[in-house]
Structure 1
């Protein structure tokens, strides 16, 4: 399992809980090489992990805070 999913699962209350919130079977999380783009926004909402950290290839690098 990739590190970002492990971290997110801890924040969401476990693998099964995270999968349930995403509307997928928990076994699917073990097969991910990266979070599929269609799950990123929900993944971000559930876990608080930034979409930029989850998929910088899709959303770009984390922008600096607006001053």
Structure 2
């Protein structure tokens, strides 16, 4: 919540974006609890990730394959035949 307030400049500005009172925002800041109905609006207005605001509702997603495998990784082709010739009834091509 602190980061969201910093991005918008004040608790009052955040309250205006959320359509609630500044006291409501102050309560969220002091308790650290963000009601679920405000999470997506805060993320849209400030860029603060929903998984940081409410990790219980929006857990961080696991990394994708492109994030896991470095872009410098290369494919290695094997000189072996991919299919056993005995299963196709013929010789390797």
Q: Of 5, 8, 24, which residue of structure 1 is paired with 2:4?
A: 8
Mapped partners of 1:47, 1:65: distance in 2:
25
Q: Which runs of 5+ in 2 are unaligned?
A: 67-93
Q: Secondary structure at the match of 1:57?
A: coil
The Cα shift of 1:53 comes to 1.0
Indicate the structure whose relative CO is greater, using CA pairs within 8 Å and at least 6 residues apart.
Answer: 1
RMSD value over aligned CA atoms? 1.6
Compute the TM-score of the two structures, normalised by the length of structure 2: 0.60
Mapped partners of 1:48, 1:66: distance in 2:
24
Distance 1:12 1:44, change over 3 A: same
Q: Is the 8 A contact 2:14 2:25 kept in 1?
A: no
